[in-house]
A and B are shown apart, each in its own frame.
Chain A
Amino acid sequence: MHVKFDLNGRPVASDVEPRTTLADCIRNDFGQTGTHLACEHGVCGACTVLVNGEAVRSCLMLAVQVQGDKVVTVEGLSGDELTPLQAAFRKHHALQCGFCTPGFITTAHALLSHEPDADEERIRDVLSGNLCRCTGYVPIVEAVLEARESYRGSGSK
C-alpha cells in the first residue's frame, strides 16, 4: 500500500505491506535508525516516536496508520547541536549503552512539551513505560528535571 506522511519535517512516501510496523518503515525505508527496536510488542518503550506531537510506540502502530500524519523521531528533535534535553542527558550520565536513550528522549520531550511543569512524580510515572538496563533511572530523572526549564515560556516545541 502507498503511504505518505511527514517525517521529521519533510514529506515522505513509501510502498509498504500493510503488516509493516511504523518502526520498521522509518528504519528500513527511510534509514532513520535512531528509533530502536527491542521487544517489538509494546513493553520496552525504546521505539517511542511522536505522531502529531504525541508519544507513541512505533512497534504498536502500522505504517499505513500514519497516512497524512506528522511523525518525529529522535533525529528530528535536534539540528547540529544537542537540545537542552539531550545535553542534560550527557551531563547527568543518563545513558551508558544508549540503546534505550532515543525512547527516553522522545518520551521526555513529549511530556515536557505538553507539561513543562511536570514534577518528579509525574516524570517517573511517565518514564515508567521505558526500560533502561544500565543507569538505574536516577540520572535519567535528574536530566529530565534539569531540562524542564528550557521548555518553559516558549510554549510547546
Chain B
Amino acid sequence: MKPPIFEYASPSTVAEAVALLASRDGSAKVISGGQSLMPMLAFRLAAPELLVDLKHLKNLDAISIGEDGVRLGAKVRWCDIESDARLAVSHPLLAEAIRHVAHYQIRNRGTVGGSLAHADPSAEMPGVAMTCEARMTIVGSAGSRIEAAADFFTGPLQTSLQPDEILTEVHLPPWPAARRWAFLEFARRKGDFAMAGVALHYDLDGTGRIVDAHVGVIGVADRPIRLAAVETMLNANRLDDKLIAAASAKARESVDPPSDIHAPGAYRAALVATLLARGLKKSAA
C-alpha cells in the first residue's frame, strides 16, 4: 500500500502548472487535496511520472456568489462549502449534496475541482454539476475554454480534460429563490460512496405547474446522467401523488445500472425510483 515512484513539483502559477503538464506528454497528473488520487496511487491504479501540486496556485479557492450564479474555484474544499452560510440561499442543492461527501478529515482536504476531474460516477459534485448544467473553466497550453458538464463527463473516471489541461473553476447558473429542489442518496454507512443518488430541481409557473425540471442521478451509470424522460413527464404538470408515482416508475425504467459487489443492478434501479419519489415529495413540502 505504498505509492509508486514519481517526481513532484509545486508551481506557483497556472501557466507554470500547464507547462509542466504539457512537458510530460500525458504522464503527469495534477494533485490538490489528493483525497481521490492518493488512494489510486496507494492501490497503484495510477502511476504518473510527475505530480503537479496546485498548493501554491492563488485565486483558485474562492466561492463567488453573484447575479450570474455561483462560481467555485477548483481548490474550494468541501469544508469551505459547508461553512459558507450564503450557499443555503444561493444554492441549497449544492449545500445539501456536499453534506454527503465522505468524512470530516477528507472534507478538510478534498476539493471541488478534484472531484470533478476524478469523475467518479457515484460522486456528489459531478452529479450536481450535471443536474444543474454547470460550466467548467479549463486552462491548457492552447488557452482557456468553457465546457458544459454534459460534454465534460465522458465515461467512468473519464473527462474531456486533455493531459495539459487544468480545471480552474466551475460555474453553477443562478438559483431563483422560489426554486423547488431535493438531493437524496443512499449509502450503507454515512460518508460512503452512494449506491444511488438523485438530485432534482424545478420551478413553478403562475398556475403551479412544473417548468424546467432537472433530474440527475449518480451511482447508476458510467457517469452522472440526467433522466430526460422523467423531466418531460414532470414539465407542464402539477405535482401530485399520481405524478410522483408515474415519475418514479419512469425513473426505474430509464436507468440500467450495472451489478457489482455492492448491489445488483435491479436494486440500484429500485433505489432510484424510491429516492426520486421521496425527493419529489420533499421538494413540495
Asked if B1 and A41 sit within 8 Å, CB to CB, the answer is yes
Judged by a CB distance under 8 angstroms, whether A45 is at the interface is yes
Q: Given A65-B53, A128-B191, are A42 and B38 neighbors across the interface (CB < 8 Å)?
A: yes
Q: Given A18-B51, A61-B34, are A56 and B102 neighbors across the interface (CB < 8 Å)?
A: no
CB distance from A123 to the nearest CB of B (A): 10
Asked if B3 and A19 sit within 8 Å, CB to CB, the answer is yes
Judged by a CB distance under 8 angstroms, whether B4 is at the interface is yes
Against B, the Cβ 8 Å flags (1 = close, 0 = not) of A23-54 are 01000000000000001111001001000001
Judged by a CB distance under 8 angstroms, whether B87 is at the interface is no
Chain A residues near B109: list those with CB within 8 A. Answer: 56-57, 60-61
Report the nearest B residue to A125, measured CB to CB: B190
Chain B residues near A59: list those with CB within 8 A. Answer: 38, 42
Chain A residues near B53: list those with CB within 8 A. Answer: 64-65
Bin chain A's interface residue count. 20 to 34
Question: In the complex the two chains form, what is the Cα distance from A132 to B2 in whole Å?
Answer: 23
Chain A residues near B106: list those with CB within 8 A. Answer: 42, 57, 60, 129
Asked if A17 and B5 sit within 8 Å, CB to CB, the answer is yes
Chain B residues near A126: list those with CB within 8 A. Answer: 103-104
Against A, the Cβ 8 Å flags (1 = close, 0 = not) of B103-123 are 111101100000000000000
Partner of A107, one of B38, B43, B104, B189: B104
Judged by a CB distance under 8 angstroms, whether B35 is at the interface is yes
Question: In the complex the two chains form, what is the Cα distance from A111 to B1 in whole Å?
Answer: 29
Question: In the complex the two chains form, what is the Cα distance from A11 to B25 in whole Å?
Answer: 38
Judged by a CB distance under 8 angstroms, whether A21 is at the interface is yes
Partner of B104, one of A19, A24, A42, A55: A55
Q: Given A1-B8, A18-B8, A60-B39, are A129 and B105 neighbors across the interface (CB < 8 Å)?
A: yes
List which B29-49 residues lie within 8 A (CB) of chain A. 31, 34-35, 38-39, 41-43
Partner of B108, one of A41, A54, A127: A54
Judged by a CB distance under 8 angstroms, whether B7 is at the interface is yes
Question: In the complex the two chains form, what is the Cα distance from A126 to B1 in whole Å?
Answer: 25
Question: In the complex the two chains form, what is the Cα distance from A64 to B52 in whole Å?
Answer: 12
Against A, the Cβ 8 Å flags (1 = close, 0 = not) of B188-211 are 011100000000000000000000
Q: Given A55-B105, A57-B106, A129-B102, are A65 and B55 neighbors across the interface (CB < 8 Å)?
A: yes
Pull 9 A–B residue pairs with CB atoms less than 8 Å apart, ordered by A: A21-B38, A40-B2, A41-B1, A54-B108, A56-B105, A57-B106, A60-B35, A64-B8, A128-B103
